[in-house]
């Protein structure tokens, strides 16, 4: 095995892990649907995850840990807190709209 094959193996290992771990989630998914339906969605979801991860690695190849942490504090955490607030307040908003006759 030459050095270029070793490098290819090292860089492709995370994608192989994703593709190898996805069947476990596929097999543990309950439901009354047919095997063809599950097989189709398994292929679609696996392809999307691998494409997403490879694009993220290509677009952000030189991100340092401090840059990732800064952007997480700046964008990801406020968005998550907003989503938690929306999910928490949604039933109360719907009840209020029903009581007012707006829905």
Q: Are residues 72 and 52 in the same domain?
A: no
Q: Are residues 29 and 42 in the same domain?
A: yes
Place 86 in a pLDDT band, splitting at 50, 70 and 90.
very high
Domain that holds residue 31: 1-61
Residue with tokens 């009354």: 32
Q: pTM of the full predicted structure?
A: 0.40
Q: Are residues 98 and 84 in the same domain?
A: yes
Average pLDDT along the chain: 76
Q: Which two tokens stand for residue 12?
A: 């492709």
Q: Are residues 56 and 87 in the same domain?
A: no
Residue 103 has pLDDT above 90, yes or no: no
pLDDT tens, residue by residue, 4-54: 555 565 566 666 666 666 666 666 666 666 667 777 888 888 888 778 777
Q: Are residues 55 and 78 in the same domain?
A: no
Place 84 in a pLDDT band, splitting at 50, 70 and 90.
very high
What is d(CA 50, CA 76) in angstroms, rounded to the nearest whole number? Answer: 22
> What pLDDT is stored for residue 62 in this prediction?
82
> What pLDDT is stored for residue 85 in this prediction?
94
The total number of structural domains that make up the chain: 2
């Amino acid at each position: 095995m030459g050095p270029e094959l070793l490098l290819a193996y090292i860089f492709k290992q995370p994608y192989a892990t994703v593709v190898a771990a996805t069947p476990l989630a596929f097999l543990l998914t309950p439901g009354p649907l047919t095997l063809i339906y599950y097989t189709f969605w398994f292929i679609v979801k696996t392809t999307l995850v691998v494409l997403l991860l490879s694009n993220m690695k290509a677009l952000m190849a030189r991100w340092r840990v401090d840059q990732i942490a800064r952007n997480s504090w700046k964008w990801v955490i406020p968005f998550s807190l907003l989503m938690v607030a929306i999910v928490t307040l949604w039933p109360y908003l719907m009840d209020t709209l029903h009581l007012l006759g707006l829905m």
